[in-house]
Amino acid sequence: MRARYIADLAGDFRLSRPLKVVCATGNGTAGAFAPDLLERIGCTVVPLHTGLDYTFPAYNPNPETME
């Protein structure tokens, strides 16, 4: 199921040039698929805080939080 979801999101899109990205998901839900999706489209991925952990030990992943 997960592989089909990533395949559906990526489609046939591929980057036209190499790109290295830091994928920092704050231990939130995106950590379950974002690194694989980015690799699928051709990125070199540096994962950061991608393990799922509902206590959010690194930082609050809410983009609306100003701290």
Alpha helices in the chain (DSSP H): 2-10, 34-40
Biggest distance spanned by C-alpha atoms of the chain = 38
Residue 35 pLDDT: 97
Global pTM value: 0.84
CA distances to 8, 10, 17, 30, 53 from 24, rounded to whole Å, are: 22, 19, 22, 9, 13
- Output the tens digit of pLDDT for each of the chain's 67 residues: 788 999 999 999 999 999 999 999 999 999 999 999 999 999 999 999 999 999 999 988 788 887 7
- The answer to whether 40 touches 18, Cβ cutoff 8 Å, is no
**pLDDT for position 66:** 79
The answer to whether 8 and 33 are in contact (CB under 8 A) is: no
The pLDDT assigned to 62 comes to 80
